[in-house]
Amino acid sequence: MTCLEQAAFCDDIITMECQVLYALSFEISLSTTSKSWSDRYLATMMAAGGEPSEERSSDNSVEPMRIVCWLSDYLCELALYKTPRFAPSVVAAAAVCLARHTLALEPFSLALQDASGLSLAHSEVRSCIAHLHCLQRLEGVPGDQLSAVFTKFARYDVGCVARLQPPAALPA
């Protein structure tokens, strides 16, 4: 098989994957490992207190922690696209940190540090955050390659988190 045939074959697979996701309305029940870690970190952070609950407020708006959950899920799914080999726990911590930073919350709170055992000082976490930030900004992503993930997280039932404006700078 020549390189040209191989490239065409890869494009066909991506097209078929998109068709399957659209046919399933993006409802896939299998959780990624990074998402599982993210869920664990968020649950630990909420149980420890000091984090906003995911209840609805009196004006019926969704609390920030719920948006953080959806946004970190979105970032974990983006991470499935050409992400360098980061440990799933690092991807999850980076996703939660970037989600919090996007919402102008303290990026790496003490609760996240306790839950993950990581911090912003960890070089692998910083590298992963930078990579996720590029994906969140859709930089260097050809055409429709992330459109299925974007469409899934642009829906109202997940807070339209894909449409949130990414932060201009990385967390300090």
Answer whether 88's CB lies under 8 Å from 116's CB: no
Residue 27: inside a domain: no
143 or 105, greater pLDDT: 105
Residue 17: inside a domain: no
Per-residue pLDDT of 126-170, as tens digits, reads 999 999 998 898 765 666 677 888 888 999 999 999 999 999 999
Whether 115 has a pLDDT exceeding 60, the answer reads: yes
Whether 52 has a pLDDT exceeding 70, the answer reads: no
Residue 98: inside a domain: yes
| pLDDT value for 146 | 78
Tell me the C-alpha distance between 87 and 80, whole Å.
12
Residue 78: inside a domain: yes
Whole-model pTM: value is: 0.73
Q: Which domain holds residue 125?
A: 33-163
- β-sheet bridge partners, residue 15: none
3-state secondary structure of 5: helix
The model's confidence at residue 55, banded by pLDDT at 50, 70 and 90, is very low
**Residue 169 burial (CB count, 10 A):** 8
Number of domains in the chain: 1
Residue 144: inside a domain: yes
The CATH number of the domain holding residue 96 is 1.10.472.10
Residue 18: inside a domain: no
